[in-house]
Structure 1
Amino acid sequence: MKSLFFIIYFWDFMTDPSLIYDEIQRQVVFVFNKLAEQQGSEGRVGEDISAAVEGLGALNKTIQDEYDKLKELSEWTHFTIAFYGETNAGKSTLIEALRLLLKEPSKLKSQSQFKEAQRRSGLTQEAFDKVRHSIMSSEDKIESVKKELGKLDQKYSGAIKKVELEILRLSELIQEIKTGLSWWKKIATIFYKTPESLQLKDEKNKLAKLLKEENSEKKTIDLQLEAVFTQKKNAEKEQRRLDAKAEKLKEFADGQIIGNGRSDFTRHNTAFKFNAGGQEFTLIDVPGIEGAEDLVREPIAQAVRKAHAVFYVTRAPRPPQTHDGDAGSRKGTLEKIKEHLGAQTEVWSIYNHPVNNPRQLKKPLLDENDVAGLVAMDEKLKKALPDQYCKSLIVSAWPAYLSLTDCTVPGSKETVEQKKLMTRFDSRDEILTLSGLSEFVDTLKSDIVGDYRSKIRRSNLNKAYKVLEASLVELKKAHNVFEDGEKKVRSEVRHAKSQIDVLLEQFSGRLGAVRSKVIRNFESQVQEQLYERIDDDISNDEFKRLLKESVEEASANLEFGLRDAIKKEAEDVGVNINKVVQRSNHHLRNIIAMQNEGIAMDKFDMTVDVDNGLQLTSLVASGVGLVTGVFLLASNPVGWTVAVVGGVLAVVGSLIGLAKSGIMLFNSNYKKSQQRKETDKVLIKAKASIGKEIGEVVEAVSQEMTKQMKVVYKELQAPVNQYTAITSTMKRAESELSSIAQRVKN
């Protein structure tokens, strides 16, 4: 059956490779259905196995969901490489350079649109250079005119200040002179000017002349400044006009996928298809693994599911960092790499060497420290991904991109930096060689994309295998936890049973002691009553009557005493058994709680019911009730009385025979001794008869208690049975899924 199943699966896969996921899903469903069909048990054990099979439904759902995602994202035509890594590591820059170098179709289209839009707008770098030169020239002139204003102020401020001080002195002097003159002299000064007044007039004329000259020169400079500001304003207006045109060009310009430094610049996957020399492949620009992780978690997962190989791009020549330490809850870069890339067949690292100045682009590109850091990085990644990791590649993406682009927006930072770069080097090819991009492309074509069809198949099969492998790891972990739990639960139940066994043995022993005690009480009661009356020298007829009455009364007392004693012993053992049961139940709950802490139970919807303390208590109480009921069914005090009284009558008949012989008629002491002796004989016979009856009752009670405890044992065993059902079901599921995984892998 399996061989035929595999042949059908293999044929479907050869005709339509994408059917592999459907086929594996069908096989997995077949396994779980087969487990359900093999349950076969009835009663409680059958229910336990059914619950275990149903509990594995959560695992089945996980597997089915993962394969649904693979089916949705699987790629069987184009070899797909995901550019994965740190935020701002230059993934998009490298992809953009490859788009330019390998003439990716959508890039050629956008470049054509850019050039057409630039042609219509007439926008050139020369226009930007001209307007920027005009703005800078205007700013220089403004500074020059402002300096002239400063010089003008220095030129006139001293002279004006000096004249103003002289005018103030003369004004104060004239006022002082007027204050000392008589009234007629004050009138005379109206018609006759003093020398001081004439001098004051000259100074005021001088001040007016200075101010006029200053204002004239300042007006000339202000006109110059106004003209320069107008020139700058016009240049800035032209700058805004050019910027507006440039903004329209940005939509089609090179480098639009390159980030601007924000950690969440790339939030979605972007795929670019290439055909280089007949080799078809796709590059996916993946969001960075740092920053707003909630926004990019799903795009990253989708990209690595789709990819057949992954480039881990880093901006630092050193091993990726681990988590934040004991106090940190966030995963480090290395933990994220292991989590995201574990299902890949091929992982390469790319060190994107930063070059921000043309002088940094030299040969060799890396120094000794960088080389040593990359060796350490290779070792750490190989240890983290032993089967997947290949090696590190070196490239400097930014200068490579600048050398390739010819559709940058005039006036942009890229255009300026490109001009500086191209001025320093002789050719674009020299830059591509020094940046490592030429060698990278050769490696990409030969070692990475080469034989891409077989790589696609191997990668997709590996992802299918990894889904089962991951599920098997979880299943094995859960299986081990449940097996360990089964051992602990089995040990606890065995201990509880052994304690109950000891209590049952003690109960049986105490019932034997009860038997002996009630017989002694019976004997003592009869002896005390008869011996006292015999001492009164009673007749044989009176002795016969009293013996009969004493035995009957003692028999009745024995019945009640035996019943009460057995009931008390049964209740006492019931209390002790309940203590054992409750203590065991508490221990079992602790075992389950500790187990659940050690496993993600949401992946396995299985529970073990150990909270049956009330049920067990009820079973113990019910069992004790049935045990005491056995006494009522098994005991027959009337039978004992009849048997004993019959013996008494026989003895009395013997005594009468003796009386007829006349021996006791003349010797009272002899009669008393004979009555005591015959009493003891009756008691011996009575004890034997009663002892036998009580022994049967005690044995019946003991057996019934043992019988009732078997029900308790069965209930105690329930968690063990549940564990056994779960672990055996898990083991069968593990075996079947492992078989499927091996067929997929091989």
Structure 2
Amino acid sequence: MSTVSVETEALYEGATRIATSAAPAPVKATRAPLSRVRAATEAVDGLVNASLPALHEAVIALEERRLAAPRVDGRIIGTGEADFTKGNTVYQLNHKGKTFQLLDVPGIEGDENRYAKMVEEAVAKAHLVVYVNGTNKKPEKATAEKIRSYLRWGTRVYPLVNVRGNADSYEFDSDRESLESHGGVLAALKQTVGVLDTVLPEGVLLPGNCVQGLIGFASLAVNSISGKTNIHPSRDKDLVIQQRNYRKYFASYKAMFEFSQLGVIAKLVDAKLPTFREDIIESNKVKVRQLLAANIADLQTALADHQRFVNDVSGSFKDCRNLVETSLITFERLLANGISNRWSDFFNALSERADTIVAKNFGENEVIGSELRRASSALQIKVGEDIQTHLQTLLEELQERARDAMQRLIVDVQRMQFLQGMKLDAGDRAAAFRIEQLDMSLSLKEWGGIALNIASYAVTGATIGSAFPVIGTLIGGIAGAAIGALMSVVGFFTSKEKRIRKAQAQVQNKIDDLRSEVMRKLPGEVAKIAGSIRKEMADSVLAQIDALHAKLVRPLAVIEQQIAAMSNIKTQLEHMPYGTIQAIQR
């Protein structure tokens, strides 16, 4: 059996010197009643047989309380029957004037879904997690993965193998040489560390140890002065018996303590005492940095996903704008051709009517002028109505093509959204941001608010017939040409038919001049109408396309700003001196 070291003896003395103040409830024992005493007088009978038993019980109860007063240990140790922690339990530990908290959490072997949230909350608070393998078996990889899932806040892990064994396991001297000498102990520790090391992040796992918890408890649950047990009377039938049996094979309680290797854990705590405040601050800083790093990684993933989405739909936006531009070009071409054709029809019809009017009313100059003006006005009204109808048709077709372009864009964006969602789901990524979180309002139910306002342009078409005032002023010139032909001196020496043809020719020349003047001005007039339509398209349809694109692109800037802000905080935390916290500079 190994000799107790000075260091271990100091740890043992410090542990057993701690006084306890909690007083346990008395333990009731079954005792036979006192035999009745035959008294000489009635007064003596009342004193002896009535008062003496009560006094006897009181004395016994007092002695039981006195003997049980220091016995407070072991009440939280399980009995092995339905023995598992059902919730987080906090214990206060005092060591060398410092107060610590020990959080006892439910086990994570098997199915612990009911307690997963409690374990996660406890680990989030902890600065050190002690993983106890109490089975001496190799842990399941799934168990290590559960631990990792709880450790996303950066807490370190200290593995322990709690070696089990009753007193007869240590009967011979060779059994008490060292705890590691027992078969399978070191293998269990090696397997435990190996499984954890393959799963936990680098730098999280501390070197592991083996302990014999029950022997360690039994060695400390004793009064260092009297040598009597401190185990609570309620555990007389199990823990007290085990303590007594262990003591049979060990030279002293101190030897039991050293053999148990609980001192290794005490040394681990001792090593942290000088800097424990700084260590706690630094641990919290590590947690914040890792939380920031995890969020930055999620945001970078979201940024890359969204950038790919924007790149994928950029072609659809370009196609949509091209379709709108093509529709405008088609509109302008058809508008120009339609107006030109209708004014050509106007002048053709006016020419025909002019010949008839001159021939029919030859010699009646006022009638010819009046009829020409009446014919021109009637034809001009018809031109205005035709152009208005033509413009109305073209505007409706333009609106329909623009609506189709927007519908195609929306379908493309929604298809890209669906494909992106499938990629994210297939990758099983829990990105912090997804496209469907955007409120893009992609439906066409409000198309009337973003389409062309064609009603106003349909009204302007009604005045198209009077858009060229030169017509009204030149009609008089046409009539004057006919009158001039009639009044010519030469006309008195020619036949009536020749004079009519001459008058008709001069009227036709004036109509041709008027045709040329009007046709020359048509492109400018068409450009005015087309320009108004282009502006309306830019202010409505194209503006909505740009707004939708801007809404899709805007998250990129927001995510980049968040990444920059979090990276700035993380960098400042990394450069703070160990164990200190400073104000974050923006």
- Normalising by structure 1, we get a TM-score of 0.56
Q: Pick from 655, 662, 668 the counterpart of residue 485 of structure 2.
A: 655
Per-residue CA deviation, residues 585-621 of structure 1 (Å, 9 max, x unaligned), is 4555566677789677799998534347344422324
User: Contact 1:659–1:665 at 8 Å: present in 2 too?
Assistant: no
Residue number in structure 2 paired with 1:520: 344
Residues 319-334 of structure 1 aligned to structure 2 (within 5 Å): 320-322=140-142, 333-334=143-144
Deviation of the 1:569 alpha carbon: 0.5
Matches of 1:529 and 1:104, distance apart in 2? 130
Answer 1 or 2: which has greater helix percent. 1
**Distance 1:475-1:544 versus aligned 2 partners, 3 A rule:** same
Check if 1:413 corresponds to 2:247. Answer: no
**Distance 1:580-1:336 versus aligned 2 partners, 3 A rule:** same
Q: Pick from 310, 317, 327 the counterpart of residue 503 of structure 1.
A: 327
Check if 1:392 corresponds to 2:216. Answer: no
Deviation of the 1:562 alpha carbon: 1.0
Residue number in structure 1 paired with 2:35: none
User: Contact 2:137–2:188 at 8 Å: present in 1 too?
Assistant: yes
User: Contact 1:318–1:374 at 8 Å: present in 2 too?
Assistant: yes
Q: Pick from 435, 438, 444 the counterpart of residue 613 of structure 1.
A: 444
Matches of 1:636 and 1:653, distance apart in 2? 26
Residue number in structure 1 paired with 2:188: 370
Check if 1:347 corresponds to 2:163. Answer: no
Residues 120-519 of structure 1 aligned to structure 2 (within 5 Å): 252-258=72-78, 260=80, 262=82, 265-276=85-96, 281-289=100-108, 296=115, 299-315=118-134, 318=138, 320-322=140-142, 333-355=143-165, 358-359=168-169, 363-365=180-182, 367=184, 370=188, 373-381=191-199, 384-402=200-218, 404-405=220-221, 406=229, 407=231, 409=234, 412-418=237-243, 420-423=245-248, 428=253, 432=257, 435-446=260-271, 451-473=275-297, 475-476=299-300, 479-480=303-304, 483=307, 487=311, 492-519=316-343
Per-residue CA deviation, residues 212-232 of structure 1 (Å, 9 max, x unaligned), is xxxxxxxxxxxxxxxxxxxxx
Query: Which residue identity does 1:619 align to in structure 2?
Result: I
Single out whichever of 649-658 and 566-575 deviates more from structure 2: 649-658
Which structure's relative contact order is higher, taking Cα pairs within 8 Å and 6+ residues apart?
Answer: 1
Query: Which residue identity does 1:364 align to in structure 2?
Result: S
SS at the partner of 2:567?
A: helix
Per-residue CA deviation, residues 1-20 of structure 1 (Å, 9 max, x unaligned), is xxxxxxxxxxxxxxxxxxxx
**Distance 1:397-1:404 versus aligned 2 partners, 3 A rule:** same
Single out whichever of 537-546 and 573-582 deviates more from structure 2: 537-546
* Structure of higher CA gyration radius: 1
Unaligned runs of 5+ in 1: 1-98, 124-244, 323-332
User: Contact 1:664–1:671 at 8 Å: present in 2 too?
Assistant: yes
Deviation of the 1:356 alpha carbon: 6.0
**Distance 1:580-1:604 versus aligned 2 partners, 3 A rule:** closer
Residue number in structure 2 paired with 1:103: 15
RMSD (CA atoms): 4.6
User: Contact 1:263–1:290 at 8 Å: present in 2 too?
Assistant: no
Matches of 1:487 and 1:267, distance apart in 2? 50
Matches of 1:732 and 1:637, distance apart in 2? 56
Matches of 2:556 and 2:316, distance apart in 1? 18
SS at the partner of 2:518?
A: helix
Residue number in structure 2 paired with 1:627: 457
Matches of 1:631 and 1:588, distance apart in 2? 37
Deviation of the 1:254 alpha carbon: 1.3
Aligned residues: 504
Per-residue CA deviation, residues 394-449 of structure 1 (Å, 9 max, x unaligned), is 33434443555442656523345445545555655565555543444444434x55
User: Contact 1:555–1:640 at 8 Å: present in 2 too?
Assistant: no
**Distance 1:416-1:303 versus aligned 2 partners, 3 A rule:** same
Deviation of the 1:310 alpha carbon: 2.0
**Distance 1:555-1:304 versus aligned 2 partners, 3 A rule:** same
Q: Pick from 515, 527, 532 the counterpart of residue 699 of structure 1.
A: 527
User: Contact 2:210–2:261 at 8 Å: present in 1 too?
Assistant: yes
Matches of 2:462 and 2:104, distance apart in 1? 88
**Distance 1:305-1:638 versus aligned 2 partners, 3 A rule:** closer
**Distance 1:451-1:428 versus aligned 2 partners, 3 A rule:** same
User: Contact 2:292–2:566 at 8 Å: present in 1 too?
Assistant: yes
Deviation of the 1:455 alpha carbon: 1.5
User: Contact 1:514–1:565 at 8 Å: present in 2 too?
Assistant: yes
Matches of 1:673 and 1:259, distance apart in 2? 133
Q: Pick from 717, 720, 728 the counterpart of residue 557 of structure 2.
A: 728
User: Contact 1:269–1:285 at 8 Å: present in 2 too?
Assistant: yes
Deviation of the 1:551 alpha carbon: 3.9
Matches of 1:450 and 1:259, distance apart in 2? 37
User: Contact 1:378–1:392 at 8 Å: present in 2 too?
Assistant: no
Deviation of the 1:374 alpha carbon: 3.2
**Distance 1:375-1:540 versus aligned 2 partners, 3 A rule:** farther
Deviation of the 1:313 alpha carbon: 2.5
SS at the partner of 1:715?
A: helix
- Normalising by structure 2, we get a TM-score of 0.69
Matches of 2:360 and 2:436, distance apart in 1? 87
Check if 1:716 corresponds to 2:541. Answer: no
Matches of 2:444 and 2:74, distance apart in 1? 74
**Distance 1:465-1:639 versus aligned 2 partners, 3 A rule:** same
Deviation of the 1:564 alpha carbon: 0.9
Residue number in structure 1 paired with 2:6: none
Unaligned runs of 5+ in 2: 1-10, 32-63, 222-228, 425-429, 576-586
Per-residue CA deviation, residues 180-209 of structure 1 (Å, 9 max, x unaligned), is xxxxxxxxxxxxxxxxxxxxxxxxxxxxxx
User: Contact 1:493–1:584 at 8 Å: present in 2 too?
Assistant: yes
Residues 673-688 of structure 1 aligned to structure 2 (within 5 Å): 677-678=505-506, 680-688=508-516
Matches of 2:17 and 2:74, distance apart in 1? 13
Residue number in structure 2 paired with 1:745: 574
Matches of 2:500 and 2:273, distance apart in 1? 124
Query: Which residue identity does 1:618 align to in structure 2?
Result: G
Matches of 1:637 and 1:562, distance apart in 2? 11
Residue number in structure 1 paired with 2:36: none
Per-residue CA deviation, residues 253-302 of structure 1 (Å, 9 max, x unaligned), is 515243745475341322231314x6664433233346896764565455
Check if 1:570 corresponds to 2:395. Answer: yes
User: Contact 1:578–1:620 at 8 Å: present in 2 too?
Assistant: yes
Query: Which residue identity does 2:339 align to in structure 1?
Result: R
Deviation of the 1:706 alpha carbon: 0.8
**Distance 1:428-1:694 versus aligned 2 partners, 3 A rule:** same
Single out whichever of 590-599 and 401-410 deviates more from structure 2: 590-599
User: Contact 2:160–2:208 at 8 Å: present in 1 too?
Assistant: yes
Query: Which residue identity does 2:535 align to in structure 1?
Result: K
Check if 1:561 corresponds to 2:386. Answer: yes
**Distance 1:518-1:437 versus aligned 2 partners, 3 A rule:** same
Report the identity percentage.
Answer: 14
SS at the partner of 1:513?
A: helix
SS at the partner of 1:343?
A: coil
Matches of 1:571 and 1:605, distance apart in 2? 33
Matches of 1:465 and 1:451, distance apart in 2? 20
Deviation of the 1:573 alpha carbon: 0.6
Query: Which residue identity does 2:74 align to in structure 1?
Result: D
User: Contact 1:581–1:616 at 8 Å: present in 2 too?
Assistant: no
Check if 1:665 corresponds to 2:495. Answer: yes
Residue number in structure 1 paired with 2:44: none
